[in-house]
């Protein structure tokens, strides 16, 4: 493990309705609960040398404040904006201020769903986007962060 990663704080930020994982449309979002997502991210984070902090909000202003915190602290971010993905220019502008890698994630593949989900206002300011791998999207994003920070 790289010394650049050892104990490095990483924020995993989740937007609207992600706290309802496991009960919300399991045919789309899977059966893993939000608690299971948190545990999975923390466990892999520890293996990768990260101190992972997982948060969820239904409030756009709170998400923007968290992105400001990440920018001010040069904290890497895994961001699942949820519905904010498609319309929150305030969140997009906060993400654009990033000072460390930011990986956008989605549990489902937005391009196989309703037309309005095909647009992400965040993608253009993210380091990269990972979508369609269920909860595994988060694991792939954490691994991508590790590689990006080692580069």
- CA separation for the pair 120, 53 (Å, rounded): 24
Catalytic-labelled residue, pool 29, 89, 118, 138: 29
The answer to whether the annotation marks 117 as part of a ligand binding site is: yes
Residues 54 and 41 sit within 8 Å (Cβ to Cβ): yes
Residue 120 is labelled as binding a ligand: no
**Is 68 annotated as contributing to ligand binding?**
no
Cα torsion 70, 71, 72, 76: sign:
positive
Instruction: Confirm whether residue 107 is marked as ligand binding.
Output: yes
Whether 29 is catalytic is yes
Q: Is 33 annotated among the ligand-binding residues?
A: no
CB 52 within 8 Å of CB 42: yes
Catalytic residue among 68, 89, 106, 138: 106
Is 111 labeled as catalytic in the residue annotation? no
d(CA 64, CA 94): 6
Residue corresponding to tokens 């956008």: 104
108 annotated to bind ligand: yes
Q: Which residues are annotated as a binding site for substrate?
A: 80, 86, 93, 107-108, 117
Q: Which residues are annotated as a binding site?
A: 80, 86, 93, 107-108, 117
Catalytic residue numbers, as ranges: 29, 106
């Amino acid at each position: 493990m790289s010394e650049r990663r050892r104990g490095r704080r990483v924020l995993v930020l989740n937007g609207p309705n992600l706290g309802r994982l496991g009960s919300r449309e399991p045919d789309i979002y899977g059966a893993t609960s939000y608690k299971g997502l948190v545990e999975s991210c923390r466990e892999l984070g520890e293996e990768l040398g990260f101190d992972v902090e997982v948060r969820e909000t239904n409030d756009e202003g709170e998400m923007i404040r968290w992105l400001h915190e990440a920018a001010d602290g040069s904290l890497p971010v895994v961001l699942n904006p949820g519905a904010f993905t498609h319309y929150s220019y305030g969140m997009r502008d906060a993400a654009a201020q990033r000072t460390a890698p930011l990986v956008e994630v989605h549990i489902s593949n937005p391009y196989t769903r309703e037309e309005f989900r095909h647009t992400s206002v965040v993608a253009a300011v993210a380091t990269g986007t990972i979508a369609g791998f269920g909860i595994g999207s988060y694991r792939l994003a954490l691994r991508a962060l590790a590689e990006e920070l080692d580069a």
